[in-house]
């Protein structure tokens, strides 16, 4: 498992650009954003003390307060529902969601070019999620159980910045 840990850390490091892009996108739209400290488990054996507490938090100005957000950069291109390449939309692994004491409120899944994203509002869709087995090509086809939802329940948006 240590080889997978190194691969996991590489993917974790690479994902930070996507997190900052989403944070900047939300900030430019008037939301207060905070990012928790970035910490990495030095070894596979120490991973338990470094569990994920969310990629970022957003105060959207509603009565809910801070929204916990997860950000992922996907490995396949898409821009909208019409060109989404799968029959279902994978939200997250069941283990990451089920073991979280504070459940994520929102998921942002970016395309590889970080020009578009799929947005999943957990509160509005969780009752429609289903479990499915998926293979993770980044980890040698390792199978894991994931939550999926109909892509029609996902909001696809352009990740555009105001440069003014």
- Whether the pLDDT of residue 1 is over 60: the answer is no
Residues 6 or more apart whose CB falls under 8 angstroms from that of 54 comprise: 36, 68, 69, 70, 102, 104
Q: What are the pLDDT digits (tens) for 112-125?
A: 999 999 999 999 99
Topology annotation, domain 2-38+53-158: Trna Endonuclease; Chain: A, domain 1 (3.40.1350)
Domain ranges of the chain: 2-38+53-158
Work out the widest C-alpha separation in the chain, in whole angstroms. Answer: 47
Dist CA 50 CA 41 (whole Å)? 6
Edge-to-edge strand ranges of the sheet holding 89-93: 89-93, 142-149, 130-136
Q: What are the pLDDT digits (tens) for 41-95?
A: 666 665 555 556 778 999 988 888 899 999 999 989 999 999 999 999 999 999 9
Is residue 59 a contact partner of residue 103, using CB atoms and an 8 Å limit? no
Dist CA 93 CA 158 (whole Å)? 25
- Rg from Cα positions in the chain: 16
pLDDT at 12: 55
Edge-to-edge strand ranges of the sheet holding 106-110: 32-34, 56-59, 66-73, 106-110, 116-121, 155-158
| Structure-token pair, residue 90 | 């994978």
């Amino acid at each position: 498992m240590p080889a997978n840990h190194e691969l996991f850390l590489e993917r974790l490091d690479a994902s930070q650009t996507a997190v900052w892009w989403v944070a900047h996108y939300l900030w430019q739209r008037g939301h207060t954003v905070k990012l928790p400290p970035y910490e990495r488990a030095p070894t596979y054996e120490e991973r338990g003390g470094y569990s994920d507490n969310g990629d970022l938090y957003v105060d959207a100005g509603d009565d809910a307060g801070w929204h916990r957000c997860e950000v992922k950069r996907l490995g396949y291109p898409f821009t909208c529902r019409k060109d989404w390449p799968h029959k279902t939309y994978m939200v997250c692994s069941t283990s990451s969601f089920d073991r979280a004491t504070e459940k994520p409120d929102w998921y942002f899944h970016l395309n590889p070019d970080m020009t578009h994203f799929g947005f999943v509002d957990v509160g509005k869709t969780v009752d429609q999620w289903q479990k499915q087995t998926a293979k993770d090509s980044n980890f040698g086809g390792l199978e894991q159980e994931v939550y999926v939802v109909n892509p029609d329940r996902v909001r696809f948006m352009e990740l555009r910045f105001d440069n003014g």
